[in-house]
């Protein structure tokens, strides 16, 4: 009985530690939420959400290729409160007053991040016990990448949380065979799909995991065929339930594939005699998210500008996400992963509920992204794997009182080192976790030459630039080339600004050497990324900036350096030396 009381007391301690992780992580998320200006996608979602709240309109976001539920979940509770407390004017001018409105919406949506932490910690507890639950909670709370996207109102955190619930339910089905978990996973899959369409990759991966889980040594060819057919039929039902769930969660909204009616010459030209039938299909109302998914697939097939280590391509690289993970994941988490692999063959690591599904899913997902992705926009596309990786490594912290004391101490030391490393990683960049690169990659400054876009500069540095202009008034005489889709003046940035987005034609943009201000500022995703006209900032290659914003997303140069360039500066220096 005394032993039971001791175990109960220990369980409460680990639960309290997990709760403390949630509090600390939430405070970090809130601080980041108020410290950053709008990222590229947030401006669109804020505008769409406010318009929907006031008018009910939600067609435009589908035509862009985005789901219609995640931004409602994030924004609706905040708008409801603002209307009740007499602050509805913020909703009526979401762009003009984004500096006030956006932090409120971000903080109001942070419960989704906290729910993701709770699900991850609970999954670790189910697999590995209370101590592992606490370790998983802290690994989640101190993850720079999870904090970075938890402080934004983009798709990533709703997707990560919903997919964690979806995959945990499927894991439960594999472990106990209860069909209710199978259907629960499918329903949660519909929720995840309504957050981001990349969930379409999950059912084929789960089908392979499920098929492999059912294999038995000595199966005959007939048994193998039956097993494969049953698996295929079951997964077809799973996908049907997932799509029906999405349809229900989006209010059974429908929309035709084409916004136009009447003649469809492209359909006739492409499909010949079947053209009229295809044309009617274009005008037939379908579930609205399916239409958004079709639009997104069209974008995917056409590729998109990608940047990696000084090169740009329209079709990306098969190893892009592996390279991104290598520099964006804290080094000590890689240590935990290596240690987890090292103990995989030990009996104590293989006893109890199986976590084989976790590593299978992660490996298969990485293979699919390597083979099939043609739009390499950011490490964020791997974010749904983060909870799985955390739960998987949490087995290191598993309660095993019968293990040798020396081995227990070693495992505790490794877990402690992993947690300390995560804390140092966050402390080094907070509140700018979106710009995190580990020390071997050179931190955020070194990361400027490795990755762009949402890996580093997603347009979130306007508040940092405004603070820099306040501290150094000479930088107010500035021409600023900004990557984003909002006006820097909304955040107090002074000078002349040119906003460069990923859609418009910017061939007429005045070059840096033609400006008439003392200083030139450039967003990293323009200078090093794929979004500026080719060679536009070539004069700045090798030129040292006079200042960087504290998040390293914006560099400031003297106008004379931008006009002359590195080679001419070097030649001038040599000439002066000769004279």
Q: What does the pLDDT look like over 340-395, one tens digit per residue?
A: 998 876 665 566 678 999 999 999 999 999 887 777 889 999 999 999 999 999 99
**What is the C-alpha to C-alpha distance for residues 207 and 165, in angstroms, rounded to an integer?**
17
Whether the predicted pLDDT of 499 surpasses 60: yes
Whether 67 contacts 194, CB under 8 Å: yes
Whether 284 contacts 264, CB under 8 Å: no
Percentage of the residues of the chain whose pLDDT score is greater than 70? 90
Section 531-546 average pLDDT: 88
Section 122-128 average pLDDT: 96
**What is the C-alpha to C-alpha distance for residues 72 and 251, in angstroms, rounded to an integer?**
12
Token readout for 518 is 């003392």
Whether the predicted pLDDT of 567 surpasses 60: no
CA distances from residue 560 to 23, 335, 557 in whole angstroms, order as listed: 49, 46, 8
Section 166-182 average pLDDT: 96
Whether the predicted pLDDT of 508 surpasses 90: no
CA distances from residue 401 to 70, 129, 398, 408 in whole angstroms, order as listed: 44, 12, 9, 8
pLDDT, position 387? 98
Token readout for 306 is 């990608």
Rg of the Cα atoms in the chain: 26
457: Cβ contacts below 8 Å, ≥ 6 apart: 435, 448, 483, 523, 524, 525, 529, 553, 554
68-93 burial: b if 16+ Cβ within 10 Å, else e? bbbbbbbbbebbeebeeeeeeebbee
Helices (DSSP H) in 36-129: which residue ranges?
40-55, 59-63, 70-84, 89-92, 98-108, 111-128
Token readout for 313 is 């391509």
Task: Kindly report the backbone phi and psi dihedral angles of residue 322, in degrees, each rounded to the nearest multiple of 5, phi listed first.
Answer: -65, -40
- Say if residue 323 is exposed, middle or buried (CB neighbours under 10 Å; 0-12, 13-18, 19+): middle
Average pLDDT of the residues of the chain: 89
**Cα dihedral sign for 568, 570, 573, 579?**
negative
Percentage of the residues of the chain whose pLDDT score is greater than 90? 70
Task: Kindly report the backbone phi and psi dihedral angles of residue 287, in degrees, each rounded to the nearest multiple of 5, phi listed first.
Answer: -50, 135
pLDDT, position 502? 84
pLDDT band at 491 (very low <50, low <70, confident <90, very high): very high
Whether the predicted pLDDT of 4 surpasses 60: no
pLDDT, position 534? 85
For the entire predicted model, the pTM comes to 0.92
Section 176-201 average pLDDT: 96
**What is the C-alpha to C-alpha distance for residues 105 and 167, in angstroms, rounded to an integer?**
28
Token readout for 429 is 């960049």
Least reliable range by pLDDT among 274-278, 280-284, 536-540: 274-278
Section 147-170 average pLDDT: 98
> Which of the given ranges, 122-136, 267-281, 304-318, has the highest pLDDT on average?
122-136
pLDDT band at 281 (very low <50, low <70, confident <90, very high): confident
pLDDT, position 511? 87
pLDDT, position 296? 87
Whether the predicted pLDDT of 6 surpasses 80: no
Token readout for 380 is 């964020």
**What is the C-alpha to C-alpha distance for residues 486 and 199, in angstroms, rounded to an integer?**
29
pLDDT, position 406? 76
| Per-residue pLDDT tens digits for 293-351 | 998 888 777 778 889 998 888 888 999 999 999 999 999 999 999 999 988 766 655 66
**What is the C-alpha to C-alpha distance for residues 159 and 66, in angstroms, rounded to an integer?**
13
Whether the predicted pLDDT of 516 surpasses 70: yes
Section 515-542 average pLDDT: 90
Whether the predicted pLDDT of 260 surpasses 70: no
Q: How do beta strands 285-287 and 254-256 pair?
A: antiparallel
pLDDT band at 409 (very low <50, low <70, confident <90, very high): confident
Section 440-460 average pLDDT: 94
| Per-residue pLDDT tens digits for 68-116 | 999 999 999 999 999 999 999 999 999 999 999 999 999 999 999 999 9
């Amino acid at each position: 009985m005394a032993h039971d009381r001791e175990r109960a007391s220990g369980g409460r301690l680990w639960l309290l530690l997990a709760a403390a992780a949630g509090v600390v992580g939430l405070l970090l998320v809130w601080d980041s939420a108020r410290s950053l200006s709008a990222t590229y996608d947030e401006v669109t979602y804020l505008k769409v959400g406010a318009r929907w709240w006031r008018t009910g309109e939600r067609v435009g976001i589908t035509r862009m290729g985005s789901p219609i539920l995640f931004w409602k979940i994030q924004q609706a509770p905040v708008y409801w409160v603002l209307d009740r407390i007499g602050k509805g004017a913020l909703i009526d001018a979401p762009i003009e007053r984004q500096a006030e409105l956006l932090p409120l919406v971000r903080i109001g949506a942070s419960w989704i991040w906290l729910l993701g932490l709770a699900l991850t910690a609970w999954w670790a507890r189910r697999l590995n016990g209370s101590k592992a639950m606490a370790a998983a909670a802290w690994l989640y709370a101190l993850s720079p990448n999870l904090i970075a996207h938890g402080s934004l109102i983009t798709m990533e955190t709703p997707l990560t949380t919903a997919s964690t619930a979806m995959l945990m339910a499927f894991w439960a089905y594999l472990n106990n065979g209860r069909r209710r978990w199978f259907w629960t996973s499918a329903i949660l899959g519909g929720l995840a799909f309504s957050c981001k369409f990349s969930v379409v990759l999950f059912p084929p991966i789960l089908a392979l995991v499920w098929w492999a889980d059912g294999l038995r040594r000595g199966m005959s060819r007939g048994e193998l065929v039956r097993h494969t057919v049953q698996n295929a039929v079951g997964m077809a039902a799973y996908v049907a339930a997932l799509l029906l769930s999405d349809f229900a969660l989006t209010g059974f909204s429908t929309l035709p594939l084409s916004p136009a009616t009447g003649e469809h010459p492209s359909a006739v030209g492409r499909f010949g005699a079947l053209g009229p039938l295809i044309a009617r299909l274009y005008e037939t109302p379908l579930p609205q998210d399916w239409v958004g998914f079709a639009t997104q697939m069209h974008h995917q097939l056409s590729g998109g500008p990608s940047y990696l280590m000084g090169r740009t391509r329209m079709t990306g690289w098969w190893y892009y996400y592996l390279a991104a993970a290598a520099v964006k994941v804290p080094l000590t988490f890689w240590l935990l992963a290596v240690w987890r692999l090292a103990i995989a063959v030990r009996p104590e690591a293989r006893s109890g509920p199986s976590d084989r599904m976790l590593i299978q899913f992660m490996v298969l997902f990485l293979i699919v992204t390597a083979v099939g992705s043609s739009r390499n926009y950011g490490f964020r596309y791997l974010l749904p794997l983060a909870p799985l990786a955390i739960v998987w490594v949490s087995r290191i912290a598993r309660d095993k009182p019968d293990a040798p004391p020396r081995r227990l101490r070693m495992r505790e030391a490794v877990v402690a080192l992993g947690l300390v490393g995560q804390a140092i990683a966050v402390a080094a960049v907070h509140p700018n976790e979106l710009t995190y690169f580990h020390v071997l990659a050179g931190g955020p400054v070194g990361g400027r030459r490795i990755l762009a876009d949402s890996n580093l500069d997603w347009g979130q540095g306007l508040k940092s630039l405004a603070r820099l202009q306040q501290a150094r008034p000479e930088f107010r005489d500035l021409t600023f080339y900004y990557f984003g889709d909002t006006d820097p003046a909304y955040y107090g940035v002074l000078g002349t600004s040119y906003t460069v987005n990923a859609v418009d034609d910017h061939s007429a943009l005045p070059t840096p050497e033609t400006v008439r201000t003392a200083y030139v500022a450039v967003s990293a995703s323009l200078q090093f990324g794929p979004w500026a006209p080719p060679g536009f900032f070539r004069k700045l290659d090798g030129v040292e900036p006079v200042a960087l914003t504290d998040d390293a997303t914006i560099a400031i140069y003297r106008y004379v350096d931008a006009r002359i360039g590195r080679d001419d500066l070097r030649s001038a220096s040599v000439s002066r030396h000769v004279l």
